[in-house]
Amino acid sequence: MILLNEELIFPPVEMANKDGILAFGGNLSPERLLLAYRSGIFPWYNEDEPIVWWSPDPRFVLFPDKLKVSKSMQTVLNNGKFRFTINRAFTQVIQNCKTAPRKEQEGTWISPAVQNAYMQLHQLGHAHSAEAWLNGELVGGLYGVRLGKIFFGESMFSKVSNASKFAFIKYIQQLQKEQVMLIDCQVYTSHLESMGAAMIERKKFIELLDGNV
């Protein structure tokens, strides 16, 4: 594991430890974040810690054509209960992701510094949100970073049952139309596994990034 300074570099991802931690320190400038994503690296740390950069092996991903939509979710998609939008409420989405309660997790990793960093990326056209609305109220959504044919998912939230799933499915379907070839889910969750996400070797993940971001 390497301690970064202000120089805009990362060590090779193969230097990550068995947990996937590659480096500490540095900053959350747009330039560093974009370099990280293009290199198969992402930040994830608690507010009172130094920045921690990860590149786990294996990597948890979803190929859009492997997306699984249950019968119950297909009904939700068809019944018109929710309204779907893209990039209509990025600030609200990241704020809701920050404050959403998480099972087995105290607090949030989305500190003010992280929030500001991704809002900068949004203003630069790299970070995007997808939203689910119910009766004019934002009730679910997700945000992440889009580079070329890859979408790097960061966080999602839901205030109403199925709202985040609705936004996720609709967004993946839209990205597939735009020929996005891979969704980076970063680390395992049973929720995303049930929707088609799976583990691949980090080497394969890095190969997929090459020429597509």
Please work out, in degrees rounded to the nearest 5, the angle formed at the alpha carbon of residue 51 by the alpha carbons of 47 and 57: 115
Every domain range in the chain assigned CATH 3.40.630.70: 60-209
For the chain, residues classed under CATH 3.30.70.3550 are 2-57
Q: Could you report the per-residue pLDDT of 73-127, keeping only the tens digit for each?
A: 999 999 999 999 999 999 999 999 999 876 544 446 899 999 999 999 999 999 9
Percentage with pLDDT > 90 across the chain: 91
Is the domain defined by 2-57 classed in CATH 3.30.70.3550? yes
Q: Is 130 left (phi over 0), alpha (psi -120 to 50) or beta?
A: beta
The sign of the torsion formed by the CA atoms of 67, 71, 76, 80 equals positive
Is residue 168 within 8 A of residue 176, CB to CB? The reply is no
Q: Read off the pLDDT of residues 151-174 as tens digits, 9 standing for 90 and up.
A: 999 999 999 999 999 999 999 999
pTM for the predicted model, two decimal places: 0.95
Fold assignment, 60-209: Aminopeptidase (3.40.630)
